Every structure is written in structure tokens, then in C-alpha cells.
Structure 1
Amino acid sequence: MDLQQLLDRAEIADAITRYTLAVDEGDFDRLDTVFTPAAHIDYTESGGVADVFPVVKGWLAEALPGFSTYRIHMLGQISYTFADDGNEAAVAAYFHNPMRIDDGKGGERVVEVGGLYRHTFVRTPAGWRSRRLHEQVVWTRGF
């Protein structure tokens, strides 16, 4: 592994962290620094939508406020597989996302999702951006 690939890994890891913070903090415009404008995002395994980035960004802004707290994404290992030219990378990042939701009885309950974020990142003039995200759900609890 050379110095450029170490720098690329760090930049991609930063983009994944920006993604989780943007979602957790409800700052959906920050997602513009994570995805390409035409990125395809698929949340269907967790009951969400699959569409191009602008549509999914709007859906997130509408759907996530239904959770009273969704601010604790946790990330684990990140795997990187770079294309030969170094301008594209298949990236998988383990995630755990506990959230609180109204239980319909005046209280709240915790629901959790765990799995892998599977991205395809591409090098752009603005830095590494995801052009594809598939949220692969491995387990859930509390739904």
C-alpha cells in the first residue's frame, strides 16, 4: 500500500463519518459532500426507498424525524477494494444504528439495525464521493 492509497482511505473514511453525522444530526444538506448528484441509494432492506440521491435525501428529511432520537450511528471495520486505476473503490463499513421511536402508548421503545454500508466511491474533482450505497441489513431488533 502506498501513501496515496492511505490518503484515499482516510478521505473515504471521513466521507462515511460525514454521512453518519449528517443523518444523525438531521443536516441532510451535508450529504451533498458525501454523494455524487446522480448516486443511487438503496435502503429497501430496512423498509426505506431506493432511488437517486436527491429523491432519497428528501425521503430521509421526511422519514427520520419520526424517530425521537437517531443520533448514535456506530461504525466498525471498513474494507476497501480499489480499482486498478485507483479512481474507484468498493467500500464496506459495518454499522450499528439504535434509534428510539414512539411506542404508541405514550412512551418510547428502542429499535436497532445492524449490517454493512456497501458503497462504490469514485474520485471526483471535489474528492471521493459515493455513487452507490446499498444498506445491507444483517440483523434488526425491536421492530
Structure 2
Amino acid sequence: MTPQELCDKHEIAELIYRYATSVDTKDWERMASVFTEDAYLDYSSVGYPPGSRDDVLALLQKALDQLPMTQHFVTNIEVDLDGDRARVRAMFYNPMRLPGMSELTYCGGNYHHEVMRTDDGWKSCRLTEESLWFSNHPDPAKA
């Protein structure tokens, strides 16, 4: 692995961490900066319609601003570099407090990003969240 590839992988991992931190701090402007302007986001595994960065982030903001607490742990980041593009798979574990619930709800799965090098550094141009499980979810259909 070349020094440039090591730097690229580190910068991409930082991008994924910035994504998770932006969600938990509800910093929607910073969250938008993780993605290209024309990015496609797909959270259909948790019931949101896929679409453009701005449309999907508006839906997420409305939903997540109601949650008193979320904390995304992101790990096992795998980066498959191909020049100025890469495919990324990162596992997530997310404890959260849902409105009106005294106990925490938990979920886990994978983030699948397609990223590209831009003049502003690495950015995600496509994200698919693959939710694999929920625990203590008030909606039995999502448990």
C-alpha cells in the first residue's frame, strides 16, 4: 500500500466518523458537508424514501430532532480504493432514546458509502443504510 493510499483511507474513515458525529450532534449543515451536492441517500431499510441529499436530510432532521439522544458507534470500516473513488462498508451500533420511552432502543447494521475525491476532499456521493436489527423498538414491525 502506498503512502497516498494510506492517507486516502484515513481521510475516508474521518469522513465516516464526521457523518456519525453530525447525526448525534444534530449538526445538519456539517452533515450535508459529508456528501456531494448531488448525492443519493437511501434509508429505506428504516422506512424513509430514498432520494436527493437535501430531501432526505430534511426528513432525517425532522425525525431525529425529536429524539432526546442518539449515539452512533461506527467500526470495522472497510475501504476499497479505486483511484479517486472508493466503496466503503462500515458497521454501526446505535443506542437511542425514543420520545416517550424510558428505556433505550438499539439498532445495528452497515453503512454502504460510495465516495469520491473532490476539490474539498473525500465526499460521499451515495449512501445506503442497511439496518439489520432493532432491540426494544416500540413498533413490533421494526423489531
Aligned Cα root-mean-square deviation (Å): 1.1
Counterpart of 1:119 (choices 113, 121, 126) is 113
1:139 is displaced (CA, Å) by: 1.4
Q: 1:141 corresponds to which residue?
A: 135
1:58 is displaced (CA, Å) by: 1.0
Which consecutive unaligned segments of at least 5 residues does structure 1 have? none
- Equivalent residue of 1:66, what SS? coil
Deviations, residues 74-97 of structure 1 (Å, cap 9, x unaligned): 0111111112xx111000001001
Deviations, residues 107-139 of structure 1 (Å, cap 9, x unaligned): 523211101100000011111000000001121
Superposed counterparts of 1:17-28, under 5 Å: 17-28=17-28
Which consecutive unaligned segments of at least 5 residues does structure 2 have? 138-143
Q: 2:30 corresponds to which residue?
A: 30
* Alpha-carbon distance in 1 for matches of 2:72, 2:122: 21
Percent of aligned pairs with the same amino acid: 36
- Equivalent residue of 1:67, what SS? coil
1:31 is displaced (CA, Å) by: 1.6
Is 2:125 aligned against 1:128?
no
Aligned residues: 137
Q: 1:44 corresponds to which residue?
A: 44
Runs of 4+ aligned residues of structure 1 deviating over 2 Å after TM superposition are none
- Equivalent residue of 1:109, what SS? coil
Q: 1:69 corresponds to which residue?
A: 69
* Amino acid in the other structure paired with 1:54: D
TM-score for the superposition, normalised by structure 1: 0.91
